[in-house]
Amino acid sequence: MQYLKSVLPALLLAGTIVDATTYTRSATVNSSFGYDATSFYLHGEAFQMLGGQMDPQRIPREYWSDRLLKAKAMGLNTIFSYIYWNELETAPGQWDWNRISGMNDIGAWYQEIQNAGLQAVLRPGPYVCGERDWGGFPAWLSQVPNITVRTNNPQFLMLSEYYLGNLSQHVQQYQVTKGGPILMAQVENEYGSFSNDHDYTAALSAIIAKHFDIVQYTNDGGSTPPNIVNGAVPGILGEIDGDPYAGFTNLEKYAESSSRGPKLDGEYYINWLTTWGPNATYPYVSGIGYNDSQNIAGLKYILDQGGSFSIYMFHGGTNFAFGNGGLNFGQLEPVTSSYDYAAPLNESGRPRDIYWQLRDFLLPYQNGSLPEYPETKPMLETEDIVLKPVAGMFNDLPPATFSGWPLSMEQLGQGRGYTLYRYTTPSSHTGLLKVGDGPRDRVIVYVNDTMKGVIDNVYVYPQNISLSLHAGDVLSLLVENQGRVDFSTPLYDQRKGIVGDVYIGTAMLAPWSMYALPIPSPPANLNFSLTNTSLTISNTSSPTWYTGSFSLPSSICGTAAADTYLTINGGTKGVLYVNGYNLGRYWSVGPQQSQYVPGVWLRESNEIVVLELEPRGKQELVARGSGERAWFNRVDVDCVGCVSANPN
């Protein structure tokens, strides 16, 4: 974090923060895009946004055009998109605009939107929620001295401006004022349900105005009037999300005059998200209505009011490579790798019944004419693919960091994945294991690499593990970051790994050897020949790498015809990689039981790698590709009889 120590003071002294008290702006209609009391205007003509949400960083770059054309074919004319700061600035001052085969090429996303003849709304954050890790904040923010996110805090505002300024360099040519498709930019995200620091939101609005030349708006949950008041920025268009019936009524009652304008439901929920857990359901809860007809009735109400909408989500995509966030209403509820959302276009880009119902509904609003739906290819089915154990995770560790006390994941310069903590005891200890201030998030406990149990904060009552250590024993704690909270509390303190000291009984354990294991991709030295028969997997084995391979005909390689849902049979919990791509987590408790594999990432010869955290005696796992998604639950083998955070 040397960058933070050297650059942060210099930027603060340079006075890069915009003084919010000097910011004034009036909402007017101009030659490109604007609004009056009741309508938006695009190039001087009244314009109703028939919108839907799609986020480029959840969709393979090769499929962007396909998804946008399908949005247009359903009757949408505007695409709303979150941008994830944490994917772009992976370390302080280090930018990655190409992540996972171009999914971070934000400028190209808006070029594709323009190519499709669609308009766009930019939702840049810096906080976006969106069921993303820490709501889109980079993990390294937690190491900035004296920072408090989502407040009028100089450090936070300076770093937010640095992000927004860099983002603007990639998208400014796509603003409607420069002939592009981007009509508006959102200020923060549902801030009214979090706090009411108007100095912060005004300062952030001023920063956006400094770097972007487009209309701004705020978006807050409309069912609760305080949200509208708390989230408002004077002179900035105030809008709502959620229930439009209550929301539009409350907007008329409580929005101040300088924030009034045409109605927009910026997140109209057709359905909802899904979280992991043996009692979690798919989807997690329903959307605005209880069925498709009620959802469509709500959209008709919006349009009859002269309002606009954005369906959240039109197409959800995938939380690749540990990108998921989590909820917290007492315990962590990590979001699944799939962000299918039961949306009109499913995770693989295929239409559901609601897609066709929405197309029929929107047809009259598009002058009775819509483009033909693009061709949908059938998905790939495979035979069983055997996966063999080839290496133990603990057998090939990176260099250790040594400390007299445990360091958090972020202190080790790590944002995602796993961190291994090891302590060699010089004398005997017996008693209850206490890990820091509690599990952050899932701790697998080993003594001499033999699994002793799991402590996980998804459980209402995390397991108690008592240990007896003898001189020379090695205690290993493998801590998994299952996704930083993006909504509810706690939001400020999102450090992972071990925070605090570790005890057995009353004995504090020290010192520690620590190993950062972010594993964005599998190790390069894994054996794919499947000739390694020396590994014997027991019921208490430590995490193990399994590999396998499969072939495809060249005619479908790299196309949507190779799309499939891959299920790992026999696994408990872990990570799936195909051809080096991190497809995200799997967990047998469900409800997600298979992983989406984009066909554009497949070739004639394909390699599957699985990191299985709890091998439990399995000498082989079996993968199988299917055109049908599997959603169901299993009993949690690590906490039989426990109560998970999600009661549904």
Q: What is the pLDDT of residues 219-265, one digit of tens each?
A: 999 999 999 999 999 999 999 999 999 999 999 999 999 999 999 99
Its CATH architecture, for the domain 397-517, is Sandwich (2.60)
Q: What is the pLDDT of residues 277-320, one digit of tens each?
A: 998 999 865 567 668 889 999 999 999 999 999 999 999 999 99
Class of domain 385-392+523-626: mainly beta
Task: Output the CA torsion 244→184→313→367 (10° steps).
Answer: 80
Q: Is the pLDDT of residue 645 over 70?
A: no
User: What is the CATH number that goes with domain 26-275+284-326?
Assistant: 3.20.20.80
**Cβ atoms of residues 316 and 306 within 8 Å:** no
Q: Is the pLDDT of residue 344 over 60?
A: yes
Residue 620: active-site member: no
Q: Is the pLDDT of residue 15 over 90?
A: no
- Given 87, 112, 161, 190, the catalytic residue: 190
Q: Which residues contact 618 (CB under 8 A, 6 or more apart)?
A: 389, 537, 570, 571, 612
Distance of CA 103 to the CA centre of its chain: 14
Q: What is the pLDDT of residues 348-381, one digit of tens each?
A: 999 999 999 999 999 999 999 999 999 889 999 9
- Given 87, 188, 267, 480, the catalytic residue: 267
Q: What is the pLDDT of residue 489?
A: 60
Mean pLDDT estimate for the chain:
92
| Residue 13 token pair | 């002294």
Nearest to 416, CA basis, from 82, 134, 167: 134
Q: What is the pLDDT of residue 463?
A: 87
Task: Output the CA torsion 281→561→83→441 (10° steps).
Answer: 40
Q: CA–CA distance from 69 to each of 140, 166, 623 (Å)?
A: 37, 29, 32
Nearest to 312, CA basis, from 373, 243, 402, 398: 243
What is the C-alpha separation between 632 and 592, in angstroms, rounded? Answer: 7
Same topology between domain 26-275+284-326 and domain 385-392+523-626? no
- Where residue 24 falls among pLDDT bands split at 50, 70, 90? very low
pTM listed for this prediction: 0.95
Q: What is the pLDDT of residues 630-643, one digit of tens each?
A: 899 999 999 877 77
Q: Where are the domains of the chain?
A: 26-275+284-326, 385-392+523-626, 397-517
Average pLDDT over residues 527-533: 59
Residue 161: active-site member: no
| Residue 525 token pair | 């030295």
Q: CA–CA distance from 515 to each of 423, 497, 518, 533, 594 (Å)?
A: 12, 11, 10, 27, 30
The b-or-e profile of 246-256 (16+ CB within 10 A means b, else e) is ebbebbeebbe
Nearest to 494, CA basis, from 416, 597, 434: 416
The b-or-e profile of 61-80 (16+ CB within 10 A means b, else e) is bbbbebbbbbbbbbbbbbbb
